[in-house]
Amino acid sequence: MEGNNFSPETGFDSFHGAIPHATLSFDSPERYRGEAHFLAHSGARLLALWADSPSSIRASLILREGVVLLSLSLPKDSLSFPSLSSIFPTAGRFERTIADLFGLLPEGLTDLRPWSDHGLWLVPPLAEGRPSLHQPFAPEDYPFVRVRGEGVHEIPVGPVHAGIIEPGHFRFSVVGEKVLRLETRMGYVHKGIDSLFRGRTLFEGARLASRISGDSAVATSLAFSKAVEEALNIEVSEGIRFVRALLLERERIANHIGDLGALGNDAGLGVALSLFGPLRERMHRHNLTHFGHRLLFDTIVPGGVSTFLSPQMVDALLQETDDLLSEVSLLERIYSDHGGLQDRFQNTGILSPEIAIRLGIGGVAGRASGQGWDLRIDHREDPVHRFSPALALDHVGDVAARVRIRFFEIFESLHLVHALLTNFPGPDICSTLPDIPLSREGLGIVEGFRGEVLGWVRIRPGKTIESAHIAEGSPLLWHALEASVPGNLVADFPLINKSFNPSYSGSDL
């Protein structure tokens, strides 16, 4: 890498057919920033930015060709690290989290308000006794950005919301019914997950990885397991890969079904919730019967899967797929023909393609705004690529577009599930996990139901976790939500929020 920038054409490694990725290590802050700048101009999006120790900053970027992990080593006793916020606008909150947890100053970041820190910590919790620039503050002093003008007022919402929802704070600045600005304040469900990974065994780690965000349990534990498998240099067998792909698509279908029902309900069609609810319930019950857990927690473990797929199970799941196809097809026609519903969906919460590019939004929200990123389609990862999945793409970027994308993806996933089941090569045994003589790192990337899910792990000899991080894409969706709510009515906020459906737990970690 001396003097030259990373080449997306030749620089990637594809580990055992996985999605190509590369790790670039830097000692110099200038070169780290320079490489990020170069890759941003090559079309890279920022997926996540974190610190795995007070002297190691990591930024993961995704390009069309694969994923690049930038790794910056800071000198001992360094109190600051270079900010990428002028290159990637979404970097700021990640860097504010690092500042809160490690007491490091992001150099070049203009917004230095605390993010994960709510004023309860006397010292940064992960500073490991090093000196820090941490300044205690009173939690009620958090300076929200004020909008001034005649008739402007604020509506504070949360952390406890009116319903069965996770906690977070929203600050609306409104005139009359119209939202002028939305600012989110997260961190209420911060659980210190990165620190909990440390010292755990690989299977305990997989258990924790299943619980980053309960609705994405398969995606997060699969990303973690893939990272572990790369670090230990093991390849999983074909039967295992089929079961994993099947579980991932089942999770996607169940979540899209749940979100579509909730979207209809939020738009005033209460019966939608009653029609979609039983479909999801049936999937959860099949999950319990066939895979041992309603939400598929702990079904994916490093080296394999914890479940088994018999010919009888294949038949039962094929029947379920056919039933879901006919039921969801009818519900899609009901949604698209319903004038009142479409009136609420259309032109509500528009995320323009330009802003989606600027924020680097992928997943469902990106695909609804003209950003055609889907790891299952962009990369020839086995076994899904054998069945040529189609890309869901829309360009309008409103709630209606995100609803269309979700319907499209349900049908596409049902097609994939059907193909995976009919071509199932038969059960395979899980790989054993070898020990390693030296600490090693691995990276795993998965297309979850929201978007890309990234798992990174460093394992030390004895098969325990030295450090790990899982990013499931929700922090970027809060930026997308903030960009798409202004100009809409306050009453449309729940609808817009549900159409993105970011996870609070997945972003606070």
Partner 1 sequence: MWKLLWKILKSGNLTESRMHKPERTSPCEYSRSASIRHLDSGSCNGCELELWALENPVHSLSSQGFSFVASPRHADILLVTGPLSCHMKEALEKTYQAMPSPKRLLAVGDCAINGGVFRGSYAIHNGVTEDMSPNLTVPGCPPRPEEIADAIRRSFSPAKTHSDSPVLDLEIRSPLP
What residues line the site for partner 1 (CB under 8 A)? 118, 120, 125, 159-160, 162-167, 187-193, 195-196, 207-208, 211-215, 217, 258, 271, 273-275, 277-278, 280-281, 284, 288, 294-295, 297, 330-331, 333-334, 337-338, 503-505
* Residue closest to 139 by CA, chosen among 125, 161, 157, 120: 120
356 CB burial (10 A radius; 0-12, 13-18, 19+): buried
| Bond before 159 cis per omega within 30 degrees | yes
Which residues are CB-neighbours of 135 under 8 A, at least 6 positions away?
A: none
Shortest distance, CB of residue 173 to partner 1, whole angstroms?
Answer: 23
Q: Residue 112 or residue 273: which is nearer to partner 1 going by CB?
A: 273
Q: Which residues contact 286 (CB under 8 A, 6 or more apart)?
A: 316, 317, 320
Closer to partner 1 by Cβ: residue 145 or 330 = 330
Residue 190 vs 402, nearer CB to partner 1:
190
For the bound state, the minimum distance from the C-beta of residue 276 to partner 1, rounded and expressed in Å, comes to: 9
CB 228 within 8 A of CB 463: no
46 vs 296, beta carbon nearer partner 1? 296
Which helix H or strand E contains 385, and what residues bound it? none
Whether 414 contacts 321, CB under 8 Å: yes
Residue (18 or 453) nearer to partner 1, CB = 453
Q: How many CA atoms lie within 13 A of 420 on its CB side?
A: 29
Question: Which residues, in sequence order, are bridge partners of residue 441?
Answer: 458
Q: How far is the CB of 116 from partner 1 (least distance, A)?
A: 9
Looking at the Cβ atoms of 166 and 441, the one nearer to partner 1 is 166
Q: How far is the CB of 125 from partner 1 (least distance, A)?
A: 5
Q: Closest distance between partner 1 and the C-beta of residue 344, in Å?
A: 16
Helices (H) and strands (E) in the chain, counts: 16, 14
Q: How far apart are CB 237 and partner 1 at their closest, in Å?
A: 28
Residue 379's H or E segment, with its range, is none
Single out the residue of 454, 451, 477 nearest to residue 69, CA to CA. Answer: 454
Nearer to partner 1, 207 or 386 (CB): 207
Q: Which residues have a Cβ under 8 Å from the Cβ of 237 and sit 6 or more positions away?
A: 428, 429, 431
- Is the distance from CB of 210 to CB of 298 less than 8 angstroms? yes
Shortest separation between residue 187's beta carbon and partner 1, angstroms: 6
Min dist CB 131 to partner 1, Å, is 19
Element (H, E) at 237: none
Alpha-carbon distance 245 to 222, whole Å?
Answer: 10
| Integer Cα distance of 51 and 58 in angstroms | 6
Could you give the CA distance from residue 253 to residue 60 in angstroms, rounded to a whole number? 27
| Minimum distance of partner 1 from residue 413's CB (angstroms) | 18
Q: Smallest distance from the beta carbon of 166 to partner 1, in angstroms?
A: 5
Least Å distance, CB 132 to partner 1, is 15
Q: Which is nearer to partner 1, 243 or 269 (CB)?
A: 269
- Return the number of the residue (184 or 371) whose C-beta is nearest partner 1: 184
- Between 66 and 494, name the residue whose CB sits nearer to partner 1: 494
Q: Which is nearer to partner 1, 124 or 239 (CB)?
A: 124
User: Is the CB of residue 217 less than 8 Å from the CB of residue 210?
Assistant: yes
Integer Cα distance of 208 and 407 in angstroms: 31
Nearest 10 degrees: Cα torsion 321, 322, 326, 328: 0
Q: For residue 191, which phi and psi values (nearest 5 degrees)? A: -120, 5
Between 254 and 496, CB nearer to partner 1: 254
Q: CB of residue 158 vs partner 1: minimum separation in angstroms?
A: 9
- Reading the block at residue 364, the tokens are 């469902």
Lookup result for tokens 């577009």? 401
90, 483 in Cβ contact below 8 A? Answer: no
